[in-house]
């Protein structure tokens, strides 16, 4: 671990930029730090093509003192519009190499220590995937859950675009990532709290507001359900659900920091693309819920 923060900066966060939409790309073009010391967490789903991912990370790395990235499912898609046809682990490794070229921290790098206001805190970007253990009510197995999901028409495009090669399945890749990440997190000194960053929430409770509960299968793993306690988590930063809000679970703050699609954020009263302050904690962040009238509509197949 290295300590590279300082001064009066802020630890900020955003996710689910989805710059394939022109409106979202414009939001990213306007994202700037408040001070020269600000760090920015990008918790996945920047875009589907390597070129777009590079554009965003290069732009933000040139503006913020440090950028930390955790991959979402969209970055890992082998999309027919992307000339980079790498699959699975090879695609992830390609993106890690891209980040290192740009000076962006990834889940494969030493975890830095935030020494700014609210610190010291270890800031750990993670890559964990999901294993279909967030099953729909009444389902006991992955096969039952997928059958139910297909019956409702709510099936994530990961089933067609996110390949686990060389692992035999996405859940096998998830379990390998969880085991290796758990090993690394246990090496953090017991005296230091953490900010854990993952595209998916570490606990299932944020998915309880989804309109379509079957979508939760693509939203995390029960293997991490106690990590917020085990690893002294100050804040768990995630995205994916497109329901920006603050919740608390067993005394730990969970921050969903996504932008989402224009059809979603255009309905909300808050200006879109606002960077969420993680440290020092925002006044009023302790009870921020979803915007009025907003409930998870991840009932699409993205």
Taking only the tens place, the pLDDT of each residue in 99-142 is 999 999 999 999 999 999 999 999 999 999 999 999 999 999 99
Q: At what angle do helices 50-61 and 22-29 cross, to 10 degrees?
A: 20
Contacts of 257 (CB under 8 A, 6+ apart): 13, 14, 15, 41, 43, 237, 238, 239, 244, 276
Q: Mapping DSSP to helix (H, G, I), strand (E, B) and coil, where does residue 14 land?
A: strand
* Residue 80: how many other CB atoms lie within 10 Å: 8
At 16-70, the pLDDT tens digits run: 999 999 999 999 999 999 999 999 999 999 999 999 999 999 999 999 999 999 9
Task: State whether residue 65 is helix, strand or coil.
Answer: coil
Contact 246, 201 (CB under 8 A): no
* Nearest residue to 42 via CA among 116, 120, 95, 118: 95
Cβ neighbours for 281, distance < 8 A, ≥ 6 positions apart: 118, 235, 253
The C-alpha atoms of residue 32 and residue 18 are separated, in whole angstroms, by: 18
Q: Specify the pLDDT at position 281.
A: 83
């Amino acid at each position: 671990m290295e300590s590279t923060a300082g001064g009066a900066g802020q630890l900020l966060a955003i996710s689910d930029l989805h710059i394939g939409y022109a409106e979202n790309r414009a939001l990213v073009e306007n994202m700037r730090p408040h001070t020269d010391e600000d760090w920015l967490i990008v918790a996945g789903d920047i875009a589907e093509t390597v070129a777009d991912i590079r554009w965003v990370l290069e732009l933000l790395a040139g503006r913020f003192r440090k950028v930390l990235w955790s991959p979402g499912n969209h970055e890992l898609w082998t999309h027919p519009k992307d000339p980079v046809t790498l699959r699975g682990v090879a695609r992830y490794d390609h993106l890690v190499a891209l980040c290192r070229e740009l000076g962006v921290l990834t889940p494969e790098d030493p975890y830095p220590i935030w020494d700014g206001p609210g610190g010291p805190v270890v800031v750990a970007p993670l890559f964990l995937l999901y294993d279909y253990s967030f099953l729909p009510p009444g389902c006991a197995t992955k096969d039952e859950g997928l059958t139910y999901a297909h019956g409702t028409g709510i099936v994530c495009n990961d089933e067609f675009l996110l390949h686990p090669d060389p692992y035999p399945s996405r859940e096998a890749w998830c379990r390998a990532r969880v085991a290796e990440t758990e090993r690394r997190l246990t090496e953090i000194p017991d005296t230091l709290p953490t900010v854990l960053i993952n595209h998916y929430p570490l606990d299932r409770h944020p998915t309880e507001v989804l309109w379509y509960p079957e979508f939760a299968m693509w939203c995390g793993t029960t293997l991490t359900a106690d990590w917020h306690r085990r690893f002294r988590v100050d804040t768990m930063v995630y995205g994916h659900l497109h329901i920006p809000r603050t919740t608390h679970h067993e005394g730990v703050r969970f921050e969903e920091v996504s932008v989402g699609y224009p059809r979603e954020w255009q309905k909300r009263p808050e200006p879109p693309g606002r960077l969420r302050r993680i440290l020092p904690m925002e006044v009023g962040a302790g009870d921020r819920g979803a915007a009025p009238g907003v409930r998870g509509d991840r009932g699409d197949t993205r």
